[in-house]
Structure 1
Amino acid sequence: MGTAGDSEKKPTVVFVLGGPGSGKGTQCAKIVEHFGYTHLSAGDLLRAEIRSGSENGTMIQNMIKEGKIVPSEVTIKLLQKAMQDSGNDKFLIDGFPRNEENRAAFEAVTKIEPAFVLFFDCPEEEMERRILSRNQGREDDNIETIRKRFKVFLESSLPVVEYYESKGKVRKVDAAKPIDEVFEVVKAIFTPKDEKVAV
């Protein structure tokens, strides 16, 4: 009946989605601290691979230079390797899937469906305000660029959110609130129902 492979517990994966400035990085750090997840950022993994100077990294760098999208498979392989290397079985995957194609490829390649999607819902004006106030330094943070990043986020990521919404897997968080209030909501999402009784 069951082969040995079946007994392997699949890791718990939570996709973290939210526009630029929605505060997801801050919240991910808190989830790691409180709930023992490993935080994997697709962008960081790609950048680390480029820095490593590997053949794969060079290929990724050239694609980005040419303005091409890095193929889903490449990012997914990096995520899979990071998951295996971490020795953990609970992961926050941040900034991925960026689009519907990423999502389908992730499930096809890893055979993992996310436990849920943590979606930081933040009005565009608030994200703009945050990004502009926190960065006097980053050259890509002028208002046009921010709006463009936001538009790209909406166009590509919202279909992913909608797909998981249809499966009842989206946990939407009002990310416009102060950090601590947002984390209270996040904490409730990550706390197993049966533990909530013990105050």
Structure 2
Amino acid sequence: MQPGELITSDRGARPALLGDLDKAWATLAEVMDPEVPVVSVVDLGIVRDLDWQAGHLHVVVTPTYSGCPATEVIEDDIRTALEQAGFNAPKLERKLTPAWSTDWITADGRERLRAYGIAPPDGSASKRTLLGESPTVLCPQCGSAHTEVLSEFGSTACKALYRCCDCREPFDYFKCI
């Protein structure tokens, strides 16, 4: 809730207009993740749904994990972008179930991660690491599959630190979850 929301919750309420949802999706496609500023909240799959409720845009947001320190910043960025695009008092709903999955990252989002120097998640989220299987992680610099894990935790908790054994460059790998 925002300050004063209980008193002015109907301020700016209006019927949905043709094209509102398309405009909102396009607006959110420009809101970048603060920890990986080359991939949008839409490409990461953080924005799960948009609809119109009680005269306001309703946005369902699922953080990459429930303890993500960037969650409130992301929600503020989403709210600000939508308000600047003309959506008065958008309603954001944080939904933790089902839990976010790297399966929700779009193909474009995966390519943007790679181009930025972060190895995108390998395949689809699975529990294979629980069985001792290691993912094949391609170096985002040279494309080599000859890589090694240096630390299970990279620059953020959702990434692991790897090194390419061919070009010797360290890089983050966006973990499959």
Larger of the two Rg values belongs to structure:
2
Larger RCO: 1 or 2 (CA < 8 Å, sep 6+): 1
Bigger fraction of residues in strand:
2
TM-score normalised according to structure 2 size: 0.24
TM-score normalised according to structure 1 size: 0.22
Bigger fraction of residues in helix:
1
